[in-house]
Structure formats: C-alpha cells, structure tokens
C-alpha cells in the first residue's frame, strides 16, 4: 500500500470512490478536476493495486490555515487506519508550510467521520445551519496544529 500525490490520470478512480462514498452528495467530475488543478489544493491517494482512498486539503493563501476538503476510503478498506493516516500526513504537510490550524465541515450524522476527527484531536467549533445544498446542517470542526496531538 502506497500513499502518493494524485495525478490527473487518477481522476476516474477518484470519481469511483466519490460515487461509492458520497452517493448523491458527490462532487461533479468537472469540479473535482478544477480542484485537482488548483495549486493551493493538495490531493493524496492511497494506491493498493487500485485507488482505495483519497484526501484533499486546501492551503489558504496566507498559509496560516488549511481546510480538509474531502476524505474518502473504499468501504472494503475501512477501519484499517487509512483515513487517519491520510489526515495525519496532510496535517504534517500543511504544518510544515506554516498552517497553524486545520478546519473541516462534516455532516453531524456522519458518525464514522465525526469519530475519526474527534479521535484525531478535532473539536466542534460551530454548527452551520443549512450549509449543504440539500439544506442539511454542517458541523465546523477545528484542530490547532503543533499542539502535540
């Protein structure tokens, strides 16, 4: 199993993961392509003879803050530490570039993701009502980096 930077050729496999992990809430292929081409967005994939996971982090321009934009692990490969590993790797990467904190948005009912983030030191900062396109709320979670967590 290998973690590496995403390449444009990974787009179809990333979209397969999006479909299986996010269903109707997945991003469109055009939006995903745009994000992958954005120099401020870092995309990592986990390759195990096929893509089994990916994560995307946006580094804000002043480099003091980053946002975890997406994280998805193939259903057959969950609870093996892959999601946590991707999050830790990306936190280290943005910390080295000067980010002091990472934020993310998550559906409060997505317990798998909320548990992962809580176990990694994220805390709920606020609930944002009607944040998602379907009108659902989002929890905004934040983690300070460099605090030894």
- Which stretches of the chain bind ligand COA, using CB under 6 A? 21, 71-73, 78-84, 106, 110, 112-113, 115-116, 119
- Cα angle 99, 59, 31 (rounded to 5 degrees) comes to 160
- Residue nearer to ligand COA on the CB measure, 69 or 95: 69
124 sits in which H/E element: strand 123-128
To ligand COA, the closest distance from the beta carbon of 87 in angstroms equals 8
- Closest-approach residue to ligand COA (CB): 83
To ligand COA, the closest distance from the beta carbon of 63 in angstroms equals 23
- Residue nearer to ligand COA on the CB measure, 1 or 40: 1
To ligand COA, the closest distance from the beta carbon of 51 in angstroms equals 12
- Residue nearer to ligand COA on the CB measure, 29 or 112: 112
Q: Are 94 and 57 in contact (CB under 8 A)?
A: yes
Radius of gyration of the chain (CA): 15
Which phi and psi angles does 121 have, rounded to 5°? 95, 5
- CA 127, distance to chain mean position in Å, is 19
To ligand COA, the closest distance from the beta carbon of 71 in angstroms equals 5
DSSP state letter for 8: G
- Residue nearer to ligand COA on the CB measure, 11 or 62: 11
In our burial notation (b when 16+ CB lie closer than 10 A, e otherwise), range 55-64 reads bbbbbeeeee
């Amino acid at each position: 199993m290998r973690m590496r930077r995403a390449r444009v050729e990974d787009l179809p496999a990333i979209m397969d993961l999006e479909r299986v992990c996010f269903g109707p809430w997945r991003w469109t292929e055009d939006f995903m392509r745009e994000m992958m081409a954005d120099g401020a967005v870092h995309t990592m994939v986990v390759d195990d003879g096929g893509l089994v996971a990916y994560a995307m982090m946006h580094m804000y321009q002043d480099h003091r803050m980053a946002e975890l934009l997406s994280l998805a692990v193939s259903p057959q490969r969950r609870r093996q530490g892959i999601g946590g590993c991707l999050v830790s790797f990306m936190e280290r990467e943005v910390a080295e570039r000067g980010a002091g904190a990472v934020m993310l948005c998550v559906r409060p009912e997505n317990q798998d993701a909320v548990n992962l983030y809580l176990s990694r030191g994220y805390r709920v900062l606020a609930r944002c009502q009607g944040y998602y396109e379907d009108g659902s709320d989002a929890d905004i979670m934040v983690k300070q980096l460099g605090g030894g967590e």
